[in-house]
Amino acid sequence: MKFVPETLDGANMISRHEPHRLWVGGVAHERSVFVPWVGEVQAWPVARWADLAQGDFERMAAFEPELVIFGSGTRMRFAPAALLRPLVERRIGIECMDTAAACRTYNVLVSERRSVLAALLLGVD
């Protein structure tokens, strides 16, 4: 799926997404990533759904977003409630959806100048 390329000064926008790859600011990423509204895109070493751990959600909380958009791979799955404690304790919202929908939603929220983090699993069925 190709998105209409847009730029927003100082913000990260996802310009294109495929099941195993996405582009942020013209840079391709082929592994799971954290895409903050501003700052550097960070690799997320989760390749399988079963590999999710509370530490992953602690890393998300460290970005201090108002909302996390969690892209669960090619199909929509909810993050296990037990792992969400770091976000809940900091009153950070989380929305779960498949990664393609998460990319679209993230771009809309960034265009509204919201402090949002996309936590995107790539290549996960």
Reduced 3-state DSSP string for 24-55: ECCEEECCCEEEECCCCCEECCCCCHHHCCHH
Please, what are the domains in the chain?
14-120 (3.40.1230.10)
33 φ/ψ angles, rounded to the nearest 5 degrees = -145, 160
Q: How far is it, in rounded angstroms, from Cα 11 to Cα 31?
A: 21
pLDDT digits (tens, 9 = 90+) for 76-102: 999 999 999 999 999 999 999 999 999
pLDDT at 47 over 50: yes
**3-state DSSP: the chain helix, strand, coil percent, rounded to 5?**
25, 25, 45
Q: In the predicted model, what is the mean pLDDT of residues 43-51?
A: 89
Per the DSSP assignment, residues forming a β-bridge with 24 are 14, 27
- pTM of the predicted model over 0.85: yes
